[in-house]
Each structure stands twice: as C-alpha cells, then as structure tokens.
Amino acid sequence: MCEKNAWREEAKKKAASSAVKEVKKNFVVGLGSGSTVAYVIRDLGRRNSKEDLQISGIPTSHQALLLAVENRVPLTTLNENPKPDLMIDGADQIDKRINLIKGMGGALTREKIVAYASNKVIIVADETKLVEKLGVNHPLPIELLPIALPLVTLRIREMGGIPVLREAKQKVGPVVTDNNNFIVDAHFGAIDTPRELNLTLKEIPGVIETGLFIEIADTAYIGKPNTVQEINRKR
C-alpha cells in the first residue's frame, strides 16, 4: 500500500472497531458493503468466536456474504429477523446531518432495505468522506431496471443532471448489480434538497432505488489520522 494512503486504512480500521464495540450478545447485525465494512466483518468474526457473542449477520451484497462466511459470522435473513438490532455500513459522502450518498459499490438497494429495517444504523468511514454538501464532485448512484435505461437517462438530463451508465471493469458492457439491474451515476452537482431529489427520481418508472440516504443513519464513526470522531443525528 502506498504511504500516502496508509493513514486511511488505519482510520477505516479504527472507525470499524468503534462501531463493532456497540454489538452485544445475540445481536442481529446488518452487514453493509465496501472496504470499511470489510474491517467490521473481520472484527465481528473475531469477537464472535472470542466472546461467544452468538451474533448473526444479514449481508447486503455477495461481497458481504463471502466475507461473513470467511470470517465465520453466522448468516441470517430479513425473513427470519425482520428487525435487525443494528446495521453497520460505509458511505461515499457524509454531510453534517449524516445524510449520505451511497452506492459506489453498487449495493445501495439492499443496503437501504436493511438499514430501514434496523433499529439503529451506524456509518463507518474515514474523514475524506465528510462533505459540506452532498453531490459536489461526486455522482449519485441510481439502480434501475435495464429496460428503463433510455427513459431514466432522458429524465435525468431534463432535470439538469448528467447520467453515466456504470461500465464493468473486467467484463464488456454495463455493471450488473446483485439484483440483475444497471447503475447510472448521475452528476447533479451540489444537491440542495436531497429528500426532494430522491422522491423525484423514484417517481420515474424503472428506478429501483437511489443512493441518497436521508435521515436513515443514527451515528457515524469517522476515522481521522489520530482519533475517531463520533457524530450523532439530531432528532
């Protein structure tokens, strides 16, 4: 790993371990996706075997599922546990009120479902994810049914955004999500009214979900070079 980014990995690890400390015996934990949550899942596996916590996890992606299996975190589903005790997830942008842009890992829909269902949602990230305003220099991921691509891209342009179909890296053509859908990364610039934008996008037929997570997260642990900052949402 290059020296320049070493502090970020440490920061992610520390944020992850702060979140994992909130897990108690018999907890059902929603497992988000991304490189910061990977540290969470490893920590959970360690604690589960050391302290006989008897937790179980609900994965939000194939990545989370495989990591959970590898780290011996027992799995469950929303069918068996419709109200998880806790969800721990990463984010791509985080504002002061812990509103989020998520979905750069393509798992936004399952992440939003499990987060909504959970009693408490904790976000883990390094401080590069903190922003004054969502959307600045960052696209908004939108998951959609493939058949709706022409309609959704047209509508985003009419709304003043620039839609970019997410392309796969080691396969020709678009990224196909764990739900067999496409992702459009929509560049809107600064998002002044995230709740309204989320609702407007969700009115387009074929849009499955957007990466705007508004008033969903309760707490964020933000890893910094020497400390972890805790942010709690004001209600």
- Reply yes or no on whether 111 is catalytic: yes
List 70, 111, 143, 196, catalytic entry: 111
| Binds ligand A5P (CB under 6 A): choice among 106, 135, 163, 194 | 106
* Shortest Å, Cβ 55 to ligand A5P: 20
Q: Which of 184, 180, 234 is nearest to 210 (CA)?
A: 184
Q: Which of 89, 95, 98 is nearest to 190 (CA)?
A: 95
Q: Which helix or strand (DSSP H or E) is residue 121 part of?
A: strand 121-126
* Shortest Å, Cβ 26 to ligand A5P: 26
108 binds ligand A5P (CB under 6 A): yes
84 binds ligand A5P (CB under 6 A): no
H-only helix segments in the chain = 3-20, 35-51, 62-70, 108-117, 149-158, 194-202
Q: Which is nearer to ligand A5P, 30 or 32 (CB)?
A: 32
Residues touching ligand A5P, count (CB under 6 A): 17
Q: Which stretch binds ligand A5P (CB under 6 A): 30-38, 114-122, 166-174, 190-198?
A: 30-38
Q: Which residues of 4-27 are buried (b: 16+ CB within 10 A; e: fewer)?
A: eeeebeebbbbbbbbbbeebeeeb
Binding site for ligand A5P (CB under 6 A): 32-36, 89-92, 102-108, 111
**Enzyme catalytic residues:** 111
